[in-house]
Amino acid sequence: MCCFHPEIESVRRTRIFARGSGKGRQFLVYAMSKSSVKDVAMILPLPVPAGAAEDALRFISLKDYPAFFDFLASGFPTPKSEPGLLTKRAELEVVQVGNFEASFVPSVKDFDRLDERFRLPATTWDALPAVKGFGFAVFKLKKGAQDVHPMAFEFPRANPARLFFPTIHIHDGKVHATADFDHTLFAQAAEGERLEIHDWEESAQPAGQFVLIAKTMGLVDGERHLYRKLVVGSRKNEDILV
């Protein structure tokens, strides 16, 4: 799920990478091109274990590797075009991650501790009971049109057997049953992990043959192949798990 607040003009070329990182945790990298007339918050609800601590999510800077997804895409044998407040509590920590300010919101009830400009209306979460137990990665993006460099982090998984891709759209503060998708998903298995990705493309070589592994900050395993799936067009507005 990807939520923006306030409303955003356009989002395109969304690219997401996911890999298990061991001990029930997952890496996730997210990038897209966006346009907005105001500064906005991009909010990614994440299925974390109940009671996740405020430091359960680890942000990772890819500022020095803005072409991360271009390198991932280069490893496929037949490249395809990518698609296009109550009682005041202590504020949540804000960290600098590359060009972004970011925060981890451990649960829905902790949103009152986030900068007021970037809080979604409470009614938004009422319409999404599935996120009741989720935590939230929040990135603060500057106004204007820009290609956003990859945003990366590691988080504890509520279900260590599945990789999670946040693909539900909430771009206007409302939850719609269907949405227009313009996504390229990349997945990589961790050691001992089996992914249900029968209809995904497999890279021709291990990732180390075409990705600058040292620049990925441990996100990509150079010894293993990558898998890719294009998700485009109008479809059910939901997250994807593999």
pLDDT digits (tens, 9 = 90+) for 142-189: 776 667 779 999 999 999 999 999 988 776 666 778 888 889 999 999
Strands ordered across the beta sheet of 58-61: 58-61, 144-156, 25-36, 10-22, 178-188, 227-236, 201-202
Most confident region among 6-10, 43-47, 146-150, 185-189 by mean pLDDT: 185-189
Question: pLDDT above 70 covers what percent of the chain?
Answer: 82
pLDDT digits (tens, 9 = 90+) for 133-150: 899 898 887 776 667 779
Specify whether the CB–CB gap between 240 and 165 falls below 8 A.
yes
The pLDDT of residue 175 is: 72
CB 44 within 8 A of CB 136: yes
Give the start-to-end residue ranges of the domains of the chain: 2-84+91-241
Mean pLDDT of the chain: 84
CA–CA distance from 92 to each of 36, 137, 219 (Å)? 25, 12, 26
Closest CA to 190 of 166, 211, 221: 221
Residue 104: helix, strand or coil by DSSP?
strand
* 84 pLDDT more than 50: no
Give the pLDDT band (50/70/90) at residue 226: very high
- Residue 203: phi and psi, rounded to 5, are -65, 150
pLDDT higher than threshold 60 for residue 1: no
